[in-house]
Amino acid sequence: MNEMAFPAAATPRVTTWCNFLHDFPDYYEESTLAPDHFADVAGVNVLPQQPLSLMKQSNDTTRADVAIPPEVQAIYATYRPTLLRRAHRLEERLGTSARIYYKYEGANVSGSHKLNSAIAQAWYYKKAGVKHLITGTGAGQWGTALAYACKQFGLRCTVFMVGISYRQKPQRPTIVELFGGEIHESPSALTKTGRDAMKRDPDRIGSLAVATGEAIEMAREMKDSARFAVGSGETCVLLHQTVIGNEAVRQMADLGDFPDYVVACMGAGSNFAGVGMPFLRAAKAMGRKTELVAAEPVACPKLTRGDYLFDINDFSGTTPVTRMYTLGSRFLAPGIHAGGLRYHGTSAFLSALYAHKGFSARAIAQSDALGAGILFADCEGIIPAPESAHAIAAAVEIAREHRTAPARTILINISGHGLFDLAGYEEAKRGVLSSDAPDEAMIAASLGAARAKNEDLARALAADVGT
């Protein structure tokens, strides 16, 4: 086939983020409910970590769009707009009538969409006078992105990386260090959170909840000299990622098409919201319908098997309590290669949206995900991250459900490359992937503890009403 069979979309310049809180103020109100009875859950006085500028972005329902600062736009311009292309060969291989497109976020120095928020956050923190950012990272995309962003704005960076991913992807720690960052395998002996976690996790598989807890503890102890920065879940982070969807809406229009399905993997929710929310806005404006589909791992099925509960966000219990779909903060997912999808909960806003059937979710087995990644690489010449491969697998399922007319249009967000995940793909090819079945007893215990907390809350609230 000649190149004309694979038309690349036009390259619009996006200067604003899509403020979806303006579109869904009721869900914003629901997602910000935080009962006072959980205010002392941490047993410590937690210093607010975000500057006021970012906190405002997480709570602003007045503006439909938020201007991207020129300094952030300038760095975005080094790798954005990103590619949007039709997957002709994949369509042919599947024998489907569906038209499949993909948006590719892996062609930047961090290898993923995480750079979109890392650059924005580093700029806002720098403007607020912060000199040191500390974070937790799952598969390492966020850690590498933040290290690079800190380098651009002259900030110090410390990263706690989930142990299983630290060992699976040794290139990630190297990249963090190349950009001047400091990185630690989590759980570590550097923090009480890490030491406590190692007692129940001697193999140091780790989780994002633990890595986040360690980062928060260190930032809290350093007080004014450092702040914790979060890579997903927070509403302002989701906002920064809408640069993806804003571009994609224009690119799809340039190609004369509009998606019936927008598919993305679901960790805490940043790449999912980033591509999906602008399409919900566009669909409403056009009088059309589009379905957002979240692809989560069987190993960590918070949407398809979790509960909508008030829960803490990290292992240490020092983060604010939010209402979200969760498996409980004590849940430890199997050490799958898609480390970015092992977080126990989901964004508070997206949880509210899901509770009101604003999108659907599918649980994907690791073998199916990596199999879909291998197929995509063979057809399209891009090796997707295992996280993104979950989205591809979900899209393949949808395409196979629509083999015949009427044709459907599917857009996949490929949130990162899989060049550091070749060991996982090799295991998949050899048929020796480890089990991704979650520990049922752990799910029951972790969810049970979270449910008990919510029952305590309900009784406390009832008592208050009675008085």
Q: Are 132 and 156 in contact (CB under 8 A)?
A: yes
Residue at 10 is within a domain: no
CATH of the domain at 141: 3.40.50.1100
**CA 166 – CA 139 distance, rounded (Å):** 7
Asked if residue 206 is part of any domain, the answer here is yes
Q: Determine which of 189-198, 238-247, 320-329 has the lowest per-residue pLDDT on average.
A: 320-329
Same domain for 238 and 364 = yes
- Give the count of domains, the chain: 2
DSSP secondary structure, 252-300, as one string: HHHTT---SEEEEE-SSSHHHHHHHHHHHHHHHHHT---EEEEEEETTS
Last residue of a domain, one of 194, 228, 262: 228
Confidence label for 11 from pLDDT (cuts 50, 70 and 90): low
Query: So what's the pLDDT on residue 5?
Result: 38
Q: Which residues of 331-353 are buried (b: 16+ CB within 10 A; e: fewer)?
A: bbbbbbbbbbbbbbbbbbbbbbb
Does 106 reside within a domain?
yes
| Residue 356 belongs to some domain of the structure | yes
pLDDT of residue 403: 86
pLDDT digits (tens, 9 = 90+) for 284-316: 999 999 999 999 999 999 999 999 999 887 665
Residue 302 shares a structural domain with residue 199:
no
Whether residues 304 and 409 share a domain: the answer is yes
Quick check: 462 pLDDT over 90?
no
Q: What angle do CA 87, 91, 97 make, to 5 degrees?
A: 125
Residue 2: pLDDT band with limits 50, 70, 90: very low
User: Are 93 and 196 in the same domain?
Assistant: no
pLDDT at 43 over 50: no
| Predicted pLDDT at 456 | 84
Which residue among 228, 251, 271 closes a domain? 228
**Token duo for residue 136:** 């937790």
The verdict on 292 and 397 lying in the same domain is yes
Residue 45 has pLDDT above 50, yes or no: no
Q: Are 334 and 379 members of one domain?
A: yes
Considering the domain architecture, whether residues 292 and 204 belong to the same structural domain is answered as no
Instruction: Read off the pLDDT of residues 260-281 as tens digits, 9 standing for 90 and up.
Output: 999 999 999 999 999 999 999 9
What is the predicted pLDDT for the residue at 9? 44
Structural domain contains residue 379 = yes
Confidence of residue 7 (pLDDT cuts 50, 70, 90): very low
* Residues 106, 119 within the same domain: no
Instruction: Based on the fold, state whether residues 290 and 425 are members of the same structural domain.
Output: yes
Domain membership of residue 36 (yes or no) is: no
pLDDT tens-digit series, residues 311-322? 887 665 556 678
Overall average pLDDT of the 61-66 stretch: 98
So what's the pLDDT on residue 417?
97
Cα–Cα distances in angstroms (integers) from residue 93 to residues 96, 198, 259, 375, 399, in the given order: 8, 46, 20, 9, 11
pLDDT score recorded for residue 380: 98
- Is residue 19 in a domain? no
Asked, as a colleague might, if the bond just before 173 is cis with ω within 30 of 0, I would say no
**More confident call, 58 vs 319:** 58
Claim to verify: residue 306 and residue 426 sit in the same structural domain: yes
Q: What is the mean pLDDT of residues 420-428?
A: 96
Asked whether 267 and 381 are in contact (CB, 8 A), the reply is no
Could you tell me the pTM of the whole model?
A: 0.92
Give CA separation, 56 vs 52, 114, 209, 267, in Å.
6, 21, 25, 24
What is the mean predicted confidence (pLDDT) over 27-49?
Answer: 62
Whether 361 maps to a domain, the answer reads: yes
Is residue 340 located within the same domain as residue 221? Answer: no
Domain end (from 228, 259, 275)? 228
What residues make up the domain containing 242?
A: 80-111+234-430
Same domain? 367 vs 313: yes
Note the pLDDT of residue 208.
84
User: Is 117's pLDDT higher than 80?
Assistant: yes
